[in-house]
Every structure is written in C-alpha cells, then in structure tokens.
Amino acid sequence: MPVAKEPRPASFYKLTINGHETIGLFRSVTINKANTDVIDFKEIDQQGKPFLRRVPGFNAGGEVVVERGIDTNKALSDWYKKVNESGVEDGATRCDGTITLHDHLGGQIAAWSFKQAWPSAIEWGKVDANSNDIAVEKATLTHEGIWREA
C-alpha cells in the first residue's frame, strides 16, 4: 500500500518502551514542547565592534501526557509503582521508548522517540455511575529528550 503524503485522520497512539514492551494504546497523547535554552554573550569582532553571539544551551524535553480508558492492562500503573518503590536511579525504571500515531486501519502516520523516561504522575479520574463515561487513566511521562522519527 502506498504511503499517503497528505494528513490522515488519527485514530490511536501506541506507547512502546525498551523497544519491545507495549504499555498500551492511547486515544490522547500530548507531547509538550521540546526546546533548547539560548545563551547570549557579548563579543568584539576583529574591527572592535561589539556583537551578540547566541549559542545553544541545555535541551529541555518537556513532558508527555498520555490518556486511555482503563482496562485490564496495568503496565502503566506497574511502571509508576516501580518508580515509587525503586526510584528513578534504578536502571529498570528509566526507559527509552517510542510513541507512534496510527490511522484507523493501523497504518503508522508518525513516530516520536524519547529517552530515559519515567512516569512522574498518574491519575485514574472520576467516574459518575449515572453517566455513560468510562474510567480514564492519565499519566505524565518525564523524559530527557524527545524527537520525531517519522
């Protein structure tokens, strides 16, 4: 099947960590901005004229927020529990991963990779028994860098 070059409607996101472990399928993912600090410093050119040089500083990755309906898959909750029990210094709690965006046929639209992520917050929301709402699991993933792969 040829790859579509125009935007396609998104259907779901898939979160994979350590290259093989699928944490789940998500209906909503927010990838907050990644940015690089800018360092300004003053210099003098060869003619003695002052100018401002701008160089890159630290990279800040922001955070990723993932949301999905609660089902029997506890992988995200288990990961959060492991962070709380072992801390983020434990090599098993920080994970490299990928978020892939898929269309309704399962075809990949885009992919982002991140490094050294760990869940820093998790919530299970509120459900009203008088409504048709489903329980939602929402987690914030803190990481050390994110970039678009595809």
**Predicted confidence (pLDDT) per residue in 80-134, tens digit:** 999 999 998 887 899 999 999 999 999 999 999 999 999 999 999 888 888 888 8
The C-alpha atoms of residue 118 and residue 116 are separated, in whole angstroms, by 7
State how far the Cα of 128 lies from the Cα of 134, in Å rounded to an integer.
Answer: 9
Using the structure block, give the residue that is written with the tokens 């210099």: 43
| Token representation of residue 10 | 């998104």
Task: Output the six-digit token pair for 90.
Answer: 């434990």
Taking a C-beta distance cutoff of 8 angstroms, is the pair 96, 117 a contact? yes
41-68: buried (b, 16+ CB within 10 Å) or exposed (e) per residue? Answer: eeeeeeeeeeeeeeeeeeeebbbbbbbb
CATH, range 12-148: 2.30.110
For residue range 24-44, list pLDDT tens digits in order: 899 999 998 888 899 999 999
Note the pLDDT of residue 16: 94
